[in-house]
């Protein structure tokens, strides 16, 4: 869905087919999932979306960054598969993630059309 804001927003999406598992954290034993961290850049409307990285996400939408060593460890213990699956942005996510660009193109095209029409009208007026 389109968001009207400035700056960067993040969304976590647990990857299908990978079971949740527990890790030890400062808060105690925490259930996590292997998730894609999706970052959207916004200038009034979204102008860019991408999978920024893969993390371990909790139910309350906090996450833990993963190093290559962390990934190797969780693969060795069987918590994560080897090779890791990739998250593919859906066409809907891509559309809404670039919605601002689409809007700016329509506005730009409309403005350009008005400039050309005004120029041509002035040129026609000067020939009379």
Other C-beta atoms lying within 10 Å of the C-beta of residue 99: 19
Q: What angle do CA 115, 117, 123 make, to 5 degrees?
A: 105
Per-residue pLDDT at 127? 63
Q: Are 8 and 39 in contact (CB under 8 A)?
A: yes
Per-residue pLDDT at 65? 97
Identify the three-state secondary structure at position 56. strand
Within a 13 Å sphere around the CA of 37, how many CA atoms are in the beta-carbon half? Answer: 16
Beta strands in 17-125 (DSSP E): 21-25, 28-57, 63-65
Per-residue pLDDT at 89? 84
C-alpha 30: how far from chain center = 25
Per-residue pLDDT at 2? 47
How far, in Å, CA of 85 to CA of 18, rounded?
9
How far, in Å, CA of 97 to CA of 3, rounded?
9
The per-residue pLDDT string of the chain (128 residues; one tens digit each, 9 = 90 and over) reads: 444 567 788 999 999 999 999 999 988 999 999 999 998 887 777 777 789 999 999 998 899 999 999 999 999 999 999 999 999 888 877 676 666 666 666 666 667 666 666 766 665 666 65
What is the value of pTM for the model shown?
Answer: 0.70
Per-residue pLDDT at 15? 96
């Amino acid at each position: 869905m389109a968001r009207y804001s400035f700056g960067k927003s993040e969304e976590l999406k647990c990857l299908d087919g990978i079971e949740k598992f527990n890790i030890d954290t400062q808060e105690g034993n925490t259930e996590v999932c292997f998730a894609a961290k999706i970052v959207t850049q916004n200038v009034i409307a979204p102008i860019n979306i991408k999978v920024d990285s893969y993390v371990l996400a909790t139910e309350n939408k906090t996450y833990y960054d993963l190093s290559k060593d962390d990934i190797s460890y969780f693969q060795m213990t069987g918590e994560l598969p080897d090779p890791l699956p990739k998250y593919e942005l859906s066409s809907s996510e891509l559309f809404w993630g670039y919605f601002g660009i689409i809007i700016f193109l329509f506005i730009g095209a409309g403005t350009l059309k008005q400039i050309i029409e005004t120029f041509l009208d002035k040129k026609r007026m000067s020939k009379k």
